[in-house]
Amino acid sequence: MIFVHADCPTSMLALRRLAAVGSADVVCIAQERPEVAARLARRAGFEQTVLVDPAPYAVSRSFGVETVPTAVRIDVDGRARDRVVGWDAEGYSSLLGVVIDGEPRSKPGCVARGFFEESFGGLDELEDMFERGWSDGLPVVPPTPERVEAMVGGRDGARSLGLVPPAQGEATLEPSRVFPDRGGRGGGRARSALQRARGRCDDAAGRPDRGGERSSA
């Protein structure tokens, strides 16, 4: 079996080369959600068996996978015998008993998912939220109670920001407490957002802006 993930170019290289060999003995273990694993296999033209090992990557951890791709040969007793780390054409040829031609003959792999959490302690919050689809790649600060309180600066959640058209419902500070601060700029960004929200409410209500003129919006 071969452990891979979608963010590693060497994983894609290995899957494409193994797909060309067409060995039915190769099982792909993707450190991905099912839909991502399926897309990875399609892109690589890999038609052999594909299984998933999503977070917290229990299967990968049980085999001590620190780098992808990592290929492991399992004997009839279910024990891991030989392994190849990264892309090594000669190593895979020996592992599978087939001839693998073409270049490159070797290429370093990438860090396996879950390895940093295990090595350095604790969950990588940013990576975890990205893998769950909660972020489009921009930094997201996990909204712990302490961080949210720091962001809103101890302001009263019931504090009114004004009426919001078209229904003229009252906007208060409380809803902002459920949204994490993107970019990690804390209270300064929160104050800026509050000022923009209050300005929009004032404009919609036709109240004087900072220049003393009434908005025509």
Q: In this predicted model, what pLDDT tens digit does every residue of 124-140 receive, in sequence order?
A: 676 677 777 777 777 77
Please identify, among 131, 160, 176, the residue that sits at the C-terminal boundary of a domain. Answer: 131
54, pLDDT greater than 60:
yes
Q: What is the domain range of residue 107?
A: 2-131
Query: Is residue 170, in this structure, part of any structural domain at all?
Result: yes
pLDDT band at 114 (very low <50, low <70, confident <90, very high): confident
Q: Are residues 127 and 153 in the same domain?
A: no
- Look up residue 140 and give its amino acid: V
87, pLDDT greater than 90:
yes
Give the count of domains, the chain.
Answer: 2
Q: Are residues 41 and 113 in the same domain?
A: yes
pTM of the predicted model, to two decimals?
Answer: 0.55
Query: Is residue 213, in this structure, part of any structural domain at all?
Result: no
Alpha helix (H) residue ranges in the chain: 9-21, 34-44, 58-62, 89-96, 115-120, 125-131, 145-152, 186-205
**CATH, residue 18:** 3.40.30
Query: Could you please report the per-residue DSSP string of 16-29?
Result: HHHHHHT-TT--EE
Q: How far is 87 from 106, CA to CA, in rounded Å?
A: 5
pLDDT band at 25 (very low <50, low <70, confident <90, very high): confident
